[in-house]
Amino acid sequence: FNVSRVETTPFGDQKPGTSGLRKKVKVFKQPNYLQNFVQSTFNALTPQNVRGATLVVSGDGRYFSKDAIQHEKVSFSDHLDHPIKHLSYKINLLPSYQACRQLSRVWELLSSSFLLHLPFSGRIRQLHAARIRSRSPLIVWPLLSEKYLRSLPCFLSLHSAVLLLLFVFLGGVIITKMAAGNGLRRVWVGQNGLLSTPAVSAVIRERVGVDVSNRLVFGSKATGAFILTASHNPGGPNEDFGIKYNMENGGPAPEGITDKIYENTKTIKEYLTADLPDVYPSSLPSYVDITTIGVTSFSGSEGQFDVEVFDSASDYIKLMKSIFDFESIRKLLSSPKFTFCYDALHGVAGAYAKRIFVEELGAQESSLLNCVPKEDFGGGHPDPNLTYAKELVARMGLGKSNSEVEPPEFGAAADGDADRNMVLGKRFFVTPSDSVAIIAANAVEAIPYFSAGLKGVARSMPTSAALDVVAKSLNLKFFEVPTGWKFFGNLMDAGLCSVCGEESFGTGSDHIREKDGIWAVLAWLSILAYKNRENLGGGKLVTVEDIVRNHWASYGRHYYTRYDYENVDAGAAKELMACLVKLQSSLTEVNEIVSGIQSDVSKVVHADEFEYKDPVDGSISKHQGIRYLFEDGSRLVFRLSGTGSEGATIRLYIEQYEKDPSKTGRDSQDALAPLVAVALGLSKMQEFTGRSAPTVIT
Ligand code: VG1
Ligand code: CO
């Protein structure tokens, strides 16, 4: 292959947020938008992490992922894309993507105006859908399409002119070609471009790879990864796409790197790319088919470049087996006493759920909900919480379901990229803040990986202090970090932290450097298996609810809720935050307002903007959320989300500690109502945002 330098101009909006760059697909589809970000990232890394390096490229499979990894689809319509591509190769014209960007616009106009209304477009769509459903090898498609096209001379004659112009931009490839262009040695791609975020983290750290002769090679590592996901944000042509870079420790790039990336995006002038052949058609001698496991090698002027497609799940499963006692979980899952349900919300967790829960652990297939990964998550919002995981919530007997069928004993859901988890018991919700505390409290007994003890525990600032109480009582090192998983990585690399979590349904450990949704489910199943080790034959099952209530009885309960005001006006959100910061300068004034709203809450004794000094590298992160701390341990926290793609999202976190075991059984919204009123009044939420209620309550 040959490498070329392509001129480009900067975009002003490529600042990575809490977890990478997330934007509407439309934004990512702008010419050079993704290329600029990828090149800016390569430029922010040390040369040894680029030249000769091994890069993982995969994601949650959302719309636009395949384009990003491998080829750039003609954007006007999927069903016409493939036959046309085939044709362009048939006529043997080499694609040259750059030259004809503008023509794509013309084509889009033309096609949307009349081509899509031709009577046969429906038929092509059907064929295409059938191909996807049957997962037939790609080779079948060109045959189908060729036959089809031959039978449609009108198609050709009508559009031959446009076609001739079209194939010049058919060969666009983004990340893989840019990796070759930047002198990387190889790219690893999960089959079909699918890898969960935790699986990416795992394979960066260690993979059982294969060499060119398909021999297993143990212990290969990658230097980094591009993870293609917008996580819990919806997917599809009108929804979100995202990309983030993870480092060689398997964790998200630290702020030092993401700041550098952002600086580079503001000045970028060119990017490097190689003219590798495209996926289609499969009849070309060398192409990369990301649906098939194997290695494809290319030789360039500076050496060889490989694209290796590997099974998305096997490395991850191997890792899970080294952490948990699968045999004891299997006993639990196969016991008739224990019923189970897992909802992948059509995210990438589906690619793991059947293999792990059904094939490895013996759960019934009917216990899997929405476990087929979809580009648009079936039109849903792949966010595992009580609002968006509706089907699971109903099945678990929470919400307004008809309760004729007995709900399962255990239910869990994942987000789009499978790093989040929601854990539910029968008619019972486990808050993520409690979940991490309970896992920490039980890990040593129930999970073999931790049998030698925990090195320490950590939580993000807005997460409730339930974990703090466990840390204190078990005499564990404890850390409070800003929101976002990147802050846990340094602690783990330094051997300071084993288990950590966030209130936002993220839980994980130092087995990798990302939160891990399936790990959390296996951790809970391990705890249940351990607590029930003598009950499965006879005796009463210890349920999820029992475990949580017992935990509250020994450690006290942190009533907790989060209010999200999604997609509010960005200016208004900023003003609201600025007012809260200003208010902090006078606690007297704050307490006057508080007691005016609610006379029976305790006093605010401290207020600040959270700032974090990393104990390992000394780096400082400022403006990480506004805190109001009360005398009795209650907290109000206000933050702006860093993962949205439109407007601003205000998050309000409300927490109250109850030590008295006779008072830990209240409904949390009731218990927190006075503090909620204070928070809304203090922030003048409705006044600033015009919203009388949040979009999501968790
Ligand atoms: C949110 C959560 C945060 C989480 C982040 C990424 O960030 O609050 O705890 O780490 O999403 O999760 P923000 O800035 O919107 O509050 V994931 O599953 O989206 O990668
Ligand atoms: Co996620």
Q: Is residue 439 part of a domain?
A: yes
Compute the chain's Rg from CA coordinates: 26
Q: Where does a domain end: 288, 308, 335?
A: 288
The answer to which of 7-21, 244-258, 284-298 has the lowest mean pLDDT is 284-298
Mean per-residue pLDDT of the chain: 83
Are 156 and 218 contained in the same domain? no
> Phi and psi (nearest 5°) for 308?
-115, 120
pLDDT at 215: 59
Name the residue range of residue 337's domain: 320-555
What's the whole-number mean pLDDT along residues 579-604? 88
For the entire predicted model, the pTM comes to: 0.83
- Beta bridge partners, 245, equal 226
CA-CA distances (angstroms) from residue 565 to 297, 324, 399, 414, 693? 49, 38, 21, 22, 8
Are 121 and 158 contained in the same domain? yes
What's the pLDDT tens digit per position in 640-650? 988 777 789 99
Q: Pick from 385, 485, 502, 504 the residue to mutate for probing ligand 1's pocket: most ligand atoms within 8 Å of its CB.
A: 504
Per-residue tokens: 278: 């495209």
Which ranges of 255-372 does DSSP label H, i.e. alpha helix? Answer: 255-267, 314-323, 326-334, 350-353
What's the whole-number mean pLDDT along residues 175-200? 92
The answer to which of 126-140, 361-375, 452-466, 624-638 has the lowest mean pLDDT is 126-140
Q: Is residue 313 part of a domain?
A: no
Burial class (CB in 10 A: 0-12, 13-18, 19+), 224: buried
Q: Are 35 and 8 in contact (CB under 8 A)?
A: yes
Are 239 and 372 contained in the same domain? no
Are 65 and 144 contained in the same domain? no
Q: Quick check: CB of 643 below 6 Å from ligand 1? A: yes
Of the candidates 434, 385, 387, the residue with the CA atom closest to the CA atom of residue 414 = 385
Are 567 and 541 contained in the same domain? no
Q: Is residue 310 part of a domain?
A: no
Of all atoms in ligand 1, which is nearest to the CA of residue 17?
14
> pLDDT class for 407, splitting at 50, 70, 90?
very high
What's the pLDDT tens digit per position in 28-59? 988 899 999 999 999 999 998 999 999 999 99
Q: Catalytic amino acids?
A: 231
What's the pLDDT tens digit per position in 117-133? 333 444 444 444 444 44
The answer to which of 307-311, 475-479, 640-644 has the lowest mean pLDDT is 640-644
pLDDT at 209: 56
The torsion of the CA quartet 218, 59, 652, 660, rounded to 10 degrees, works out to -40
Q: Is residue 294 part of a domain?
A: no
pLDDT at 239: 92
pLDDT at 290: 81
Give exposure, 122-151, as e/b (b: 16+ Cβ within 10 Å): eebeebbeebeeeeeebeebbebbeeebee
**Cα–ligand 2 centroid distance for 512 (angstroms):** 15
Q: Is residue 338 part of a domain?
A: yes
pLDDT at 403: 63
Q: Quick check: CB of 514 below 6 Å from ligand 1? A: no
Are 60 and 192 contained in the same domain? yes
The answer to which of 62-76, 197-211, 374-388, 409-423 has the lowest mean pLDDT is 62-76
Nearest CA to ligand 1 atom 1: 643
Q: Where does a domain end: 267, 288, 309?
A: 288
What's the whole-number mean pLDDT along residues 413-438? 97
Q: Quick check: CB of 484 below 6 Å from ligand 1? A: yes
pLDDT at 320: 94
**Cα–ligand 2 centroid distance for 638 (angstroms):** 21
Are 374 and 407 contained in the same domain? yes
Cα–Cα distance measured from residue 50 to residue 45, given in angstroms and rounded to the nearest whole number: 7
What's the pLDDT tens digit per position in 622-635? 999 999 999 988 99
Helices 668-683/570-583 angle, 10° precision? 90
Query: How many domains, the chain?
Result: 4
Q: Is residue 295 part of a domain?
A: no
**Cα–ligand 1 centroid distance for 241 (angstroms):** 15
Q: Pick from 483, 623, 626 the residue to mutate for probing ligand 1's pocket: most ligand atoms within 8 Å of its CB.
A: 483
Q: Is residue 467 part of a domain?
A: yes
Q: Where does a domain end: 114, 144, 169?
A: 169
> pLDDT class for 155, splitting at 50, 70, 90?
very low
ipTM of predicted complex: 0.97
**Cα–ligand 1 centroid distance for 507 (angstroms):** 12
Residue 470 scores a pLDDT above 90: yes
Q: Give the ligand with the smallest distance to the CA of 345.
A: 2
Residue 95 scores a pLDDT above 80: no
pLDDT at 210: 55
Are 355 and 502 contained in the same domain? yes
Residue 358 scores a pLDDT above 90: yes
Sequence-distant (≥ 6) Cβ neighbours of residue 695 within 8 angstroms: 564, 565, 566, 567
Of all atoms in ligand 1, which is nearest to the CA of residue 18?
14
Are 507 and 380 contained in the same domain? yes
Q: Quick check: CB of 415 below 6 Å from ligand 1? A: yes
> pLDDT class for 143, splitting at 50, 70, 90?
very low
What's the whole-number mean pLDDT along residues 145-151? 48
The answer to which of 151-160, 494-503, 568-577, 678-687 has the lowest mean pLDDT is 151-160
- The CA angle 19-233-360, to the nearest 5 degrees, is 85
What's the whole-number mean pLDDT along residues 152-163? 41
Q: Is residue 570 part of a domain?
A: yes
> pLDDT class for 214, splitting at 50, 70, 90?
low
Return the CATH number at 586.
3.30.310.50
Return the CATH number at 26.
3.40.120.10
DSSP element (H, E) containing 636: strand 635-640
Residue 134 scores a pLDDT above 60: no
Are 496 and 368 contained in the same domain? yes
**Cα–ligand 1 centroid distance for 19 (angstroms):** 7
What's the pLDDT tens digit per position in 237-266? 899 999 999 999 999 998 899 999 999 999
Q: Quick check: CB of 232 below 6 Å from ligand 1? A: yes
pLDDT at 79: 30
> pLDDT class for 159, splitting at 50, 70, 90?
very low
pLDDT at 637: 96
Are 122 and 201 contained in the same domain? no
pLDDT at 472: 96
Are 468 and 611 contained in the same domain? no
